[in-house]
Structure 1
Amino acid sequence: MNRPERIARAIQASGKSKSEIAKLCDVAPSAVTQWINGESKTLKAESVFALAKATGYRAEWLTFGTGPEREDAQTTGEPDEEDYAVIPQYTAKGSSGNGYLNDHVEITGGLAFKRDWLKRMSLNAENLRVIYNQGDSNWPTLSDGEVLLVDVSRRDPGNGNMYALYDPDSEIIIKRLIRDLTGGWLIRSDNQDKMRYPDMPISDQGMQDVEIIGRVVWRGGGI
């Protein structure tokens, strides 16, 4: 965002009218309109600090776009609900290998994702879950212990996409689904060592019996 967009955002989020902002900043309402429209090339320091006090947004962020947006975000370290969605983080592990049995699953907290990013990715926060990868069958795409974001609304098999699945033993596995040219599907590991991690062919009928937990839409971990 440029400076006029940041100012407009702060004023809108404050719930105050332009007239109220103008009064609090000791300027004419037309000046506030110029700030929002970008017609004012310079902004006096006293106006910036008055605007920051009136809206609850930091003067540094309003001027330069750097640092936390709000003072409360800086002091508490908590994500701003308006800008961030907190996705529930489960203890469940999905195995990049032979399967991982999760006897007991708990929500241990959450990871914050920018709502703007979720919107660009066409993701609904309510459909997302955070789990962990286990093993190296999808290396180098996924590392052991890596955090995964799973969209539980995307359960229809799609060619080339990676999914969290239940195997026949009700253990969670992380695999890619590949449409076989001869018909049916291949449940595939990204690891190129096919002696250890061979493709698993499955018919269309058999695919209907596979319980797809959701599609893996994001990965995050060490490099």
Structure 2
Amino acid sequence: MTDLNDPTAINPSVLTPVHPDIERYLTTLAGSTDTPVLVEMEELARQQNFPIVGRLVGLFLKVLAKSIGAKRVFEFGSGYGYSAYWFAEAVGPDGRVICSDGDPNNLSKAEHFLGQAGLWDRVDFRTGFAQTVFQATEGEFDICYNDVDKGDYPEVWRLARERIRPGGLYIADNVLWHGRVAAENPVDIVPGWTDAIREHNRLIFNDPEFDAFINPTRDGVVVARRK
């Protein structure tokens, strides 16, 4: 199986946004957030080659959510709840993280992990196609977080942007796509995905209703604040 987190397995010429030594230093600092549940979730990702955002991006998500007092978060693509762990910590006991994932097995895994962490009562985990789940969910959100298949990124942005409250955030992972977005002739894991991410990023930065910035940590995280 192709390792989506190892770009050199596909194309050794892709770019590394942040020097590995810097990443290691930052990860060392983040080690102070160790909990048994996080360690178990990260080990599962390593064993099963499952793409999670990892500790550095997880902390970043938590800080962003707390900085705007987020209480209602929607996740497009939740896996087994790793990113939801960080959002659930941030929203507090009266907040809600609505998760969506197409794999029913991830629901039971998320309940196991987030239950152990004492966070399951803050999560509403819905199985199904993320965009369909979102369209069936009413109301505005403090944060919409996007981590679905990369070819769907432009569609998710178009759906989410209207449902983010003023001052709220749109966040998406993998927006540098292991440097492929900057490569002249990138080798795609799935044909069209790099072009879809480029379009997604272009749409966000050209939208007059949002201020945007890309944090190059790990694989690039875009944060767009609705004005």
Is the TM value for this pair above 0.5?
A: no
Larger radius of gyration: 1
TM-score, normalised by the number of residues in structure 1:
0.21
Q: Which has the higher contact order (CA 8 A, sep 6+)?
A: 2
TM-score, normalised by the number of residues in structure 2:
0.20
Hey, which of these two has a bigger chunk of strand by percent?
1
Hey, which of these two has a bigger chunk of helix by percent?
2
